[in-house]
Amino acid sequence: MSQALPQPAFAPTGGGPAAPPYRRAAAAPRRRRRSLWLKLLQRSALPLLALGVPAMLTFWVLRAPQFAFAEVQVESSGRVSAGWARSALAPLLGGNLLALPLAAADARLRQHPWVAAVDLHKELPHTLRITVRERQAGAVVEIGQQRFWVEASGRLIAPLAPGDEAPAALPRVRLEGMAPAATSDPAASAAELPAVPAALAVLAELATAEPGWRAELERITALSEEDFALSTQALPFPLLLGTQDVAARARVLAGLLPQVVARYPHLDAVDLRFSRRLVLVPGKPPAAGASTTAEYAEPVAGGAAAAADVPANMDELGQEEVSQDG
């Protein structure tokens, strides 16, 4: 009796068709390697694009005629006009606005004597906006036959142009024998006049004691950097002043003024530069026996009290005679 052979493991059950015998899978196809240059190009494309586009845009903007510097707009107090600014910047006109060197423009604008500082702003496509801070005149200085605008610090600004009229509130300071060589070209030299701030300080102190004298000021003359002659319509004579105790000595004179005017109607000046004397400079010989020097106590308190301490009779005060020329 024959024995049945065992069925193969892969034989299907249920009587279906036989499965193919087992075969080893074929090897996967080899992939081709990408070029090293292609990899480098792909990795550098984005950075090159990020750099190249702005560079090309910048190249175009710096050469595009739409951005040529063509217009100047000026904001100032009136001394610096747009016409002058355009003339000063003429060598820079036509160049690219974005490439315009602001330092060069600033240097050209500062050549104007009234320019203290400038702010420069570029406004696309072709405008330069200029905001000017002008110098402020603190006085008008007379030197010989010339008149100059001067800052309160004493710095010369510029000569008064023909037809210029200074405001009435601006002090007139005359310099006697103190003209610096730089006044021949004040705009270029920027000369300093120390007597000017000293004169303005004297006027400021005088205004605290006798504001009426200061309000009607005609002129203050600088005899030196510390000596001044003041003319005011409020007094019938000039005052000679120093830089010390101006307010206190003015109060004393104000207290004695009625007696001074009544006794000496013709005075060339009253000198307040001495600490304990009023020196009266007569315009003609005084009456026989009258003294031209009034002694007074140095004021230590307010003006009214200090003036009241001075004796009323100036004959009792005068012990030292003063010559006709003071």
pLDDT band per the 50, 70, 90 thresholds, residue 276: confident
Question: Looking only at Cα atoms, what is the longest distance across the chain?
Answer: 188
pLDDT of residue 257: 94
- Mean pLDDT for 269-296 is 70
3-state secondary structure of 8: coil
Lowest mean pLDDT among 32-46, 56-70, 244-258: 32-46
Six token digits for residue 257: 């003024």
Mean predicted lDDT score pLDDT of the chain: 77
- Mean pLDDT for 311-326 is 34
pTM score over 0.75 = no
Six token digits for residue 130: 């200029």
pLDDT of residue 104: 94
pLDDT in tens, 119-164: 999 998 889 999 999 999 999 999 988 999 999 999 999 999 888 8
CATH 3.10.20.310 fits 65-134, yes or no: yes
Please check the confidence at residue 236 and state whether its pLDDT lies above 70.
yes
Beta-carbon count within 10 A of 288 CB = 5
Domain borders along the chain are: 65-134
Candidates 126, 127, 153; CA nearest to 138 is 153
Report the DSSP beta bridge partners of residue 115. Answer: 134
Chain center to CA of 285: 52
